[in-house]
Structure 1
């Protein structure tokens, strides 16, 4: 029985734990475009990464997995040269993986509301609302984060229920005070371009570019859960984009 795209990705990540080589066959050997800028392009780059694993190998615990047309995206806890939180995105063509993006961040201590980078619901529902939910997230990123229309935030986020998993930030609208705190301390959270929006049911992923902290060129991978047309929960993985001179492939982050 043919596996779904989502099942293939989960099997590939689980193979980090088992050593099973079968899921490697889900990657197109003639076309594999890598956007992890610390890895070489193509299947050879993937195999080199696996062959140079630390003693004990890599470990992967897939917390959430979603499928949107030709794309699969996952929220995973890795042991990848130390504990990491990650969001991976895979593109398929004709049943094979042909492209990969990711963001990884060291696992942090629980945030101001005691939430981790991984906890919270995993249940996918409201499949009939996938496209509508993607539009809501696109509107939030575009109008509130890109165009700074902060007064419109309640058009997109539930004002009485907003669960936050970002490290060092609290639940609720008070969490947005972090932006003011950053500004007062000469730091920035600046979204400059929305690259991709993917979703399945009540979960939506936005992949954006901008600046963070001391102005570092940054990739923002934001995962949202929606309920009744509003965002009610948020996880993210934020990663600095390395200088081009240090890239191991020429495909760019996005």
Structure 2
């Protein structure tokens, strides 16, 4: 199986069929878990499958991209009260090695009732195009993250995006460069200043580029999982899932 096929098979076994025996051979025995609430190792994931079944939780995958041995899924988990909210929006990242799933990272955020832009956290294009531009688009987005979000050279923002064409799915930010800048100003006024924004995982496929970043916002550790869509050499659309990093976890692997 390809990395995508392997990850989809695991997701199906664990979250749709609720079958630990089917999931077990798809996992490395020393599977590394970064979800703060689940123990590391294959047994950690397998042990929560009965709770997933009992909760009635369902999974909808909106997008899936892959590069090398990494696979990123943009998911909605419904009936997820047992895991924190009735509906959760998530980015799940898996690393595949030697034909099994070896590592998992995720970020989860409660689904909001409304958004500033009027777009949901998951709607919009999902088709992967421009495969020949994967590396070019990856470099563009990483430059945007480091220069604009990371603060290295924010004045270069128009090198990366058209100020008028930036479709926003973050529930608290409006469209366009003006919407982004207004949100950054508003967050700063509330003491939510970003003083660290360091990419840890970057996965690109064609017109989509995903970046998971380790951040400090308002003096506290946060994880930002962002997905951008690129068109004609400019960033045109953005989805994200943002979550604080807890001080205590069910393992010693950290968030990243």
Q: State TM-score, norm by structure 1.
A: 0.92
| Aligned with 1:151 (options 137, 150, 155) | 155
User: Structure 2 matches for 1:50-199, cutoff 5 A?
Assistant: 50-53=49-52, 55-79=54-78, 80-81=80-81, 82-176=86-180, 177-199=182-204
Of 175-184 and 11-20, deviating more is 11-20
Q: State the Cα deviation string for residues 202-225 of structure 1 (Å, max 9, x = none).
A: 00011111123x433100001000
User: Structure 2 matches for 1:8-19, cutoff 5 A?
Assistant: 8-15=6-13, 16-19=15-18
Q: Which residue of 2 aligns with 1:22?
A: 22
Q: Which residue of 2 aligns with 1:218?
A: 222
| Aligned with 1:248 (options 229, 239, 250) | 250
Runs of 4+ in 1 over 4 A off after TM superposition: none
Note if contact 1:68-1:200 (Cα within 8 Å) is conserved in structure 2.
yes
For 1:53, what is the secondary structure of its paired residue? helix
Task: Return 5+ residue gaps in structure 2 as ranges.
Answer: none
Q: State the Cα deviation string for residues 29-78 of structure 1 (Å, max 9, x = none).
A: x2200111211010111012213336343311011011100110110001
State how many pairs are aligned.
248
Q: Which residue of 2 aligns with 1:230?
A: 234
2:6 equivalent to 1:4: no
How far apart in 2 are the matches of 1:192 and 1:113? 24
Q: State TM-score, norm by structure 2.
A: 0.91
RMSD over equivalenced CA pairs, Å:
1.6
Q: State the Cα deviation string for residues 212-250 of structure 1 (Å, max 9, x = none).
A: 3x433100001000011111000000011001xx21111
Displacement after TM superposition at 1:179 (Å): 0.6
Displacement after TM superposition at 1:22 (Å): 2.6
Note if contact 1:140-1:153 (Cα within 8 Å) is conserved in structure 2.
yes
